[in-house]
Amino acid sequence: MSLAKLGCTRISSNCVKEAILRLEQSKQLLEIAKTEVEQAVETDEITATIWINELLEALGINLSNSN
């Protein structure tokens, strides 16, 4: 995501902090997705879906409202 999409017209410390936060969140989501796929293969899709939803809730992420 570009800084402009974050509402930043010039680089400020707040914009940099927001970009770093989103980068870290993206890394977390990628790791969750990789682990969820592994769990789905090893167990079943329902168990994996429950697990990923619990992790997302713990992180405060609601994918249905994400942009």
CB-based contact 19:6 (threshold 8 Å): yes
User: Is residue 29, in this structure, part of any structural domain at all?
Assistant: yes
pLDDT in tens, the chain (67 residues): 565 666 666 678 888 889 999 999 899 889 888 888 888 888 888 888 888 888 888 888 887 754 4
Number of domains the chain contains: 1
18, 21, 27, 33: CA torsion to nearest 10: -90
With respect to residue 9, please indicate whether it lies within any of the assigned structural domains: no
Residue 36 lies in a domain: yes
User: Which residue has tokens 């570009």?
Assistant: 2
Q: Which residues constitute the domain of residue 43?
A: 25-60
Q: Helices H, strands E: what count in the chain?
A: 2, 0
Residue 66 belongs to a domain: no
Does residue 67 fall inside a structural domain?
no
Query: Quick check: is 49 in a domain?
Result: yes
